[in-house]
Amino acid sequence: MNLNKTVFSPRKIIKQLASLKLAVITISMIAILTAIGTFVEARYDATAAQKLVYQSIWMELVMGIFAINLTAVIVDRYPWKQRHLAFICAHVGILVVLFGQYLSNNYGLDGSVRVGVGESNNFAVIPGKIDLTVYSSFDGSSYTKLLAREVDFFLSPPTSNKPVIIPTDQGEIRLTEYQKYVVPSRKVVASDQVRAGAGLRFQMHNDKVNVVEWLVQRNPNHVATHDFGPAQIHLGPVPSEGSGKNEIYLFPDESLSGKIRYAVFKKENKLAALSGVVEEGGTVTPGWMGLELRILRYFPRAVETWELKPKDRPTPLTTGAVKVEFQKQEHWLLLNDTLKLFTEKAAYIVTYASRREDLGFPIKLDKFIMDRYQGTMRAASYRSQVTVPEVGAVEISMNEPLKYKGLTIYQASFEDSPQGEPVASVFSVNRDPGRVLKYLGSLIMTLGIILLFYFRKKAQVAKKNEVQG
Amino acid sequence: MRLLIAGMMVLTMGISLNWAAAEESPTKANSGSFLPGIWSAPVGEALRGLPVQDAGRIKPFDSFARELLEMIYGKTTLEGKPAYEVVLTWLLSPQAWQGKELFEVRNHEVLKGLGLDPERRYFKGEEIFSNERFSTLRQELQEKRESKEKLTPYFQSLGRLENQFYMFTEMASGRLLKLVPEAASAQGVAGSWVGVDRLEGETQAAFMVLSRKFIERIGVMAQKGSHEDLLRASEELDLAVKEFKRKARESSPNLYPSDGLADLEVHYNLFHPFRWSYIFYLLAAFLLLFVWITDKGRLMPGVWALFGIGFLLHIYGFGLRVYLAGRAPVSNMYETVVWVSFGSVLFAAILEMIYRFKFILLAGLCVGIFGMVVAGSAPAILDPSLQPLEPVLRSNYWLTIHVMTITISYAAFFLAMMLGDMALFYTIRGEEANREKLKALTLAIYRAKQIGVSFLAPGIILGGIWADYSWGRFWGWDPKETWALIVLLGYIAVLHGRMVGWIRDFGMAVSAVLTFSLVIMAWYGVNFVLGAGLHSYGFGAGGIEYVAAFVFLHFLFVVYTVLVRRARAQLQSQTKT
């Protein structure tokens, strides 16, 4: 008697854990938490909702209690009788589904693959995982990996008080700030980095065309090109022969202190038709189509940086950015972008990007087919004809995925050019170890609900017979 | 063609101005017998069935004109004149419309931005579009669009205004009215039909005849000509329409549709099966109320008969819509409202047949009437037009099943809410005096909730299977699916509470009313308030104030009942002591 009254009796603990009060509270908590999640998603985006609510510790806690509650309720009914069958099925079903979802979340793969028309790709981008990677080089050509680690700056951003520090031979690379939502625009500024190339802003115009653009060299030997169809403008070393097009080469010659050497090629002749020296504000008349080239701005050494406009909420144009400090200089590094840092002796590459996972085989997009509603540009359906090794040519369309090597490849969306022509197909690639359990659980649960009605009917009939008898 | 149209315009101006000034609808006055107006277009109105290519499908001119007038003027008739007549005169004599207050603007902020009187709702084209501020506002809209931020109601309203302007200009120029399939070699979007501005040869000539006959007919109507004159003009117009269709079909026999489908859609537009259906529900509800109050049980067959006619008309309307659209009618808010109304009356009828409480059917009819009236009276928010589906939703069998299953569960919960309202009403009237009624109501509420849960749970699972099948993920916390889950959790919590006796009869009524707010959030709120997630193909705007008032009034009703009950209990305990 006494033993049964102690708090530690397993039967009693299970009774407590199986209590309906706990069940109702947990159910309500799940409802409230997820409701908050939907509001977060409406105000921010799906990523914010995932990070702040659905994948948060609170959600895991409540789900954990829910699972314990369900288990306890089943154990509490032991020894099970036939009349418990419906009840047990319904609750076991939920448990199995929950476990399946747990497996999918923790051991599954959920990525997307973008393949341009006629191109192939064997990497899937995993949007939920972001890596910070640093490479170093002392000769400028071969790089070694210094660091690679998963970071979550959304939840734990670096600050100037708590920076992320990457030690290198040339001093620390420090990440000191993170911005969740910024709209970036490119900006070219003068630099004193020795390995920086030149930067130049030009205007090309006649009575029909007017183009204003920046050209920036990655390094003094790089050729930066702007192509506008009938002609090309290059910033970089002048070759001895042209490539048979209308081209202008602009070359920053250090001996000319702030002036630029130029050479004009015509498509008829491989040798330069015209050459000379021009400075900021000056013009070159190449002699094709009445075009005139004007040098608007010129930096002998220039780097491209980002100008960032912070926003309160995400839009399709915003991205995340992290501030990198190195050798007393500040740089902004955007998500899925690369930053190069130079010193006299070494070069470093820092990337902050979504993880890419090798599928182990390439997907080649042979053709993207889009059907439209008559007389409009609205898509009615779309499908991709792809080639995958060993499988050969197959078609992937909405609701008709390709299953290969344990992966399922779905038609997710597409990208189109400003003219509305599709240029790339986007697939979602997925491996779901919990799938079987989720279907099984659903089946058991549904069975439970059906049995519930069946047994109730039986009980009613029995009751009726008793009354009549 | 341009020149010819211009000539026609001059010819038309005088007449159509008269026509525009004539007050009463000539159609109603002269349409002759009642039946032809319902089953097919009456004499003189064959124009309604003329096939037009618009927004990705072929539709009758009647539907095209209704949607266009709705978009620009906010209604499907203008001063009693049918849309198809109004819209055709935009093409034939746009000048006649210059002085007319045709453009509906509802947003006060937009009106202030344009420097117009915010108390007015309809404006002349020149007041808005020749206004210098309009181009400033357009610029503003353009910048907002480029920033890719969500459009606020103000910008949505600006967007509509821009669209109104564009559509009117396109219609007036004839580019919008695409009447003939394009010959194979022509340029432009593939499969696009030719607008009347580019008609050539025989079809052009036939269209000119058609236009002239149309003008003659409205001329006769405006001058209140004799019945014989009107009949002759009408028959000539019908003949011209027929001739035009013949020429168009000859020019591309494979692409031009047969008359059947377009005529059927005209019938759907003119007949309004859903309106007739709720009229019969209303009659049934009144008779039922009478039966209930006077206790004349022998009139019940009459109630069932009226209900049955309404229900058959409801099914008939669905059937037409499914046939015309070639898909299940659950792809937008309008269609789900009609579907939920259907579910409510169906469940109510089944429960009524089992329990014979009378009020179950009454509650079902109330939900049905309420839903159908709302669906029929707010076309700006609940768009009744037939639109092509987004790619994800096409040719997917699971989609239809999961949406239908989930929304039908909302019907059961709606029914439970209405029964809950009744129970609260009887609670206020006196719990002791209405003990029997309240017991019966509680049972009905319980059943309705059970029906709802047993449709919602499989519906959510089916949604998961569908998502897994097409996107490769069973569950992704998308707001629509999350809110469906929240509804399920809410009702499951209530049913569990009932099982252990926490929730008694009064609690069942209160929870039936309160938990329905979760359904409103899942059904309406996600699409119209949150506006986020993968189910974006059903998103819309408007009506928030009414829905919020609906929810708020129900909360007040619950609070009031609780207070009344508490006061009564206090009074009782005082009299005892």
SS3 letters across B420-476: HHHHHHHHHHCCCCCHHHHHHHHHHHHHHHHHHHHHHHHHHHHHHHHHHHHHCCCCC
CA distances from A388 to A119, A362, A381, A402, A405 (A): 12, 6, 22, 10, 11
Rounded to the nearest angstrom, the minimum Cα separation between B532 and chain A is: 5
Does B551 have pLDDT greater than 70?
Answer: yes
Q: Read off the pLDDT of residues A158-171 as tens digits, 9 standing for 90 and up.
A: 999 999 999 998 88
Q: Which long-range contacts (CB under 8 A, 24 or more apart) does B493-497 make?
A: B493/A24, B493/A27, B493/A28, B493/A31, B494/B449, B495/B449, B495/B450, B495/B453, B496/A20, B496/A23, B496/A24, B496/A27, B497/A20, B497/A24
Chain B contact set for A28 (CB, 8 A): 489, 493
Interatomic CA distance for residues B293 and B306, integer angstroms: 18
Do the chains contact at B493 and A24, CB–CB below 8 Å?
A: yes
pLDDT band for B188, please (50, 70, 90 cuts): low
Q: Read off the pLDDT of residues A371-393 as tens digits, 9 standing for 90 and up.
A: 888 888 888 888 999 999 999 99
pLDDT band for B187, please (50, 70, 90 cuts): low
Q: Read off the pLDDT of residues A398-441 as tens digits, 9 standing for 90 and up.
A: 888 999 998 999 998 899 887 778 899 999 999 999 999 999 99
**Mutate which: B443, B477, B530, B536, vs A, most A CBs within 10 A:** B477
Does B286 have pLDDT greater than 80?
Answer: yes
Give residues with Cβ within 8 angstroms of A393, minimum separation 6: A366, A385, A386, A387
A82 contacts chain B (CB < 8 A): no
Q: Which of A104, A398, A438 comes nearest B392 by C-beta?
A: A398
B55 contacts chain A (CB < 8 A): yes
Does B17 have pLDDT greater than 50?
Answer: no
Task: For B471, name the nearest residue in chain A, comparing CA atoms only.
Answer: A410
| pLDDT attached to residue B8 | 52
**Mutate which: B468, B498, B517, vs A, most A CBs within 10 A:** B468
Q: Which of these ranges, B212-216, B234-238, B390-394, has the smallest mean pLDDT?
A: B390-394
Do the chains contact at B482 and A453, CB–CB below 8 Å?
A: no
Structure ipTM: 0.86
B145 contacts chain A (CB < 8 A): no
How far is C-alpha B276 from the chain's CA centre?
Answer: 15
Q: Return the ∠ at Cα B373 (arms to B46 and B80), rounded to 5°.
A: 40
Give the mean model confidence (pLDDT) for residues B315-329.
90
Amino acid at B211: S
Interatomic CA distance for residues A48 and A44, integer angstroms: 6
Show which of residues 288-327 on chain B sit within 8 Å of chain A, judged by CB atoms: none
From its phi and psi, is residue A388 left (phi > 0), alpha (psi between -120 and 50) or beta?
Answer: beta
A105 contacts chain B (CB < 8 A): no
Q: pTM for the full model?
A: 0.88
Does A5 have pLDDT greater than 70?
Answer: no
Between chain A and chain B, the number of residue pairs with CB atoms below 8 A apart is 153
Give residues with Cβ within 8 angstroms of A187, minimum separation 6: A304, A305, A306, A307
Do the chains contact at B486 and A34, CB–CB below 8 Å?
A: yes
Do the chains contact at A24 and B497, CB–CB below 8 Å?
A: yes
Q: Which residues on neighbouring strands pair with residue A333, listed in sequence order?
A: A322
Does B179 have pLDDT greater than 50?
Answer: yes
Domain residue spans of chain B: 2-262, 272-576
Does B33 have pLDDT greater than 50?
Answer: no
Interatomic CA distance for residues B245 and B259, integer angstroms: 9
- Residue B258 DSSP class: P
pLDDT band for A193, please (50, 70, 90 cuts): confident
Residue A78: Cβ within 10 Å count = 11
A380 contacts chain B (CB < 8 A): yes
Structure tokens at A333: 């590094």
Rounded to the nearest angstrom, the minimum Cα separation between B192 and chain A is: 4
Do the chains contact at B482 and A35, CB–CB below 8 Å?
A: yes
The answer to whether B179 touches B196, Cβ cutoff 8 Å, is yes
DSSP string, A437-455: HHHHHHHHHHHHHHHHHHH
Do the chains contact at A381 and B394, CB–CB below 8 Å?
A: yes
pLDDT band for B3, please (50, 70, 90 cuts): very low
Amino acid at A454: Y
| pLDDT attached to residue B28 | 40
Give residues with Cβ within 8 angstroms of A305, minimum separation 6: A186, A187, A188, A189, A331, A332
Place of tokens 């986020």: B532
Q: What are the start-end ranges of the H helices in A78-203?
A: 85-107
* Phi, psi for residue B226 in degrees, rounded to 5: -70, 165
More confident residue, B398 or B507: B507
CA distances from B241 to B208, B235, B244 (A): 11, 10, 5
A104 contacts chain B (CB < 8 A): yes
More confident residue, A443 or A192: A443
Helix B505-520 to helix B435-471 angle (10° resolution) is 30
**Mutate which: A24, A370, A374, vs B, most B CBs within 10 A:** A374
The side-by-side arrangement of strands in the sheet containing A247-252 is A224-227, A232-235, A247-252, A260-266, A269-278
Q: What are the start-end ranges of the H helices in B253-358?
A: 259-271, 273-294, 300-325, 333-355
Do the chains contact at B530 and A27, CB–CB below 8 Å?
A: no
% of chain B beyond a pLDDT of 90: 61
Q: Which of A35, A46, A428 comes nearest B472 by C-beta?
A: A428
Chain A contact set for B483 (CB, 8 A): 35, 38
Show which of residues 277-316 on chain A sit within 8 Å of chain B, judged by CB atoms: 313, 315-316
Structure tokens at B51: 């096939």
Q: Which residues on neighbouring strands pair with residue A322, listed in sequence order?
A: A178, A333
Do the chains contact at A398 and B500, CB–CB below 8 Å?
A: no
Do the chains contact at A110 and B473, CB–CB below 8 Å?
A: yes
Does B7 have pLDDT greater than 70?
Answer: no
Give the mean model confidence (pLDDT) for residues A180-188.
92
Which candidate, B241, B231, B233, places its Cα nearest to that of B266? B241
Q: Read off the pLDDT of residues B106-146 as tens digits, 9 standing for 90 and up.
A: 889 999 999 999 999 999 998 998 889 999 999 999 998 88
| pLDDT attached to residue B36 | 47
Structure tokens at B66: 């209704």
A453 contacts chain B (CB < 8 A): yes
Show which of residues 491-550 on chain B sit within 8 Å of chain A, judged by CB atoms: 492-493, 496-497, 499-500, 502, 518, 521, 526, 529-533
Give residues with Cβ within 8 angstroms of B436, minimum separation 6: none
Q: Which of these ranges, A275-284, B179-188, B360-369, has the smallest mean pLDDT?
A: B179-188
Give the mean model confidence (pLDDT) for residues B537-564.
87
Do the chains contact at A23 and B190, CB–CB below 8 Å?
A: no
